[in-house]
Structure 1
Amino acid sequence: MKKIYLLFISCLAAFILNLILMNSAADMPVFFTSYLNDLLCMPIVLSICLFLIKSFSRKKSIRISLFSAFSLAALYSVYFEIYLPKVNTRYTADFTDVLLYFSGSLIFWLTHKFDSPKNIQKTT
């Protein structure tokens, strides 16, 4: 099994488990209630993007560049940490979330980069 699919399945399972535990357990550490899902977000979203790109492309060796991964993290940061807190009181701006979006993107990119070294080909 490719590393990128294993990363996707692991992140998705951890995300779902975290949601279940947050809804059932009253006392969870702050990391799990406030930060874990932000860390898992980018590997999940980027894996779905990669799957869709490969589904519609004839090239199966397409890679997501670090620039593309960080660009998506930047868009998520602007939307969820700058825009939404201004228009909806449910959302709060938190710089730690921004760092976690970029960390998740880096984790995805590193896993993606070393997934199959013989087929490395960057796209933006």
Structure 2
Amino acid sequence: MALGTVRSAEGDLERGDYNWACFKAHQSAEFAVKGLLRGLGLGAYGHSVSALLAAAPSELKVLNLLQRAKTLDKYYVPTRYPNAWAEGSPADYYTREDASQAIEYAKSIISWVEEAWRSLKQGRV
């Protein structure tokens, strides 16, 4: 689900739908981290990627991803709701650079989740 969602974000980026690309980047990272936590038998509640990462076992060392997750967290609500802004629509407030960075951050979190899962399965953590 995470990989499909980040691919959808890349399509939005190419079409110029930058607010949707930012939102979907957030969603893809959220899906990945929730999948890891649930795979470990842990609770995975809420939509904050940074809070979900913080709930991961400490041996997984998420510190280098927390700032990226916090950036993605900023894209959860205002990318979708016009009343999150003083005027205009969410599309007026997001740029290609925002979307590119959000996708890069999401991909780094997804890659970390994939590696963490492989390490756990192989008993390296």
TM-score range, shorter chain: 0.3 to 0.5
| Alignment TM-score, normalising by the size of structure 2 | 0.35
The structure where helix makes up a greater share of residues is 1
